[in-house]
Amino acid sequence: MAVKKVPKGYHAVTPYLVVNDAEKTIEFLEQAFGASLNYALRRPDRSILHAELEIEDSRVMLAEAGEHHTAAPSMLYLYVDDVDAVYARALKAGGTSAKEPVDEFFGDRTAGVKDPAGSHWEIATRKENLKPEELQKRADEMFKKGKAA
């Protein structure tokens, strides 16, 4: 059987988080976003060498920072059915609020949460489907009012 360029269950781009305290980050992702841990490979000291989790239809790879890779906070955009409920669950799971839920000019309702490792998760629920022309019109109006995105 031929080897596929992109393995089954993956997308061409897969987030890879390098964090301090990988165990705590995995626990947060499970509690906040309903992630399921597929597997975790461990170093001799039992720290996470490589772990793979699934959130909805996407995979996230994760590793404990070490001598070859230092921790690097990132920003991820996560679509969910109910941004308000997931935001509340993420705070309860130990996340820190970066932005309370709000309806955005671009048609999503969003909220921001930082996980225990410092990565920013922008949580979103799509409310409107807009064409690029309407998005630009709304962006122009927002900037005219002196608001920043």
CATH architecture of 16-144: Roll (3.10)
- For residue range 11-41, list pLDDT tens digits in order: 899 999 999 999 999 999 999 999 999 999 9
Name the 3-class secondary structure at 136. Answer: helix
* Percent of the chain clearing pLDDT 70 (strictly above): 99
Under 8 Å between Cβ of 69 and 62 = no
Q: What is the mean pLDDT of the chain?
A: 95
As a whole number, mean pLDDT of residues 110-122 equals 97
pLDDT of 75 strictly over 90: yes
Query: How does strand 36-42 pair with strand 16-19?
Result: unpaired
Which run of H or E residues covers position 77?
strand 75-79
Q: For residue 1, is pLDDT > 80?
A: no
Domain-by-domain residue ranges, the chain?
A: 16-144
pLDDT digit string (tens) for 130-147? 999 999 999 999 999 887
Predicted pLDDT of residue 149: 65
pLDDT, average across residues 95-108: 97
Asked whether the beta carbons of 111 and 93 are under 8 A apart, the reply is no
Closest CA to 84 of 74, 92, 73, 76: 92
Taking a C-beta distance cutoff of 8 angstroms, is the pair 122, 77 a contact?
yes
Q: Are strands 16-19 and 58-64 parallel, antiparallel or unpaired?
A: parallel
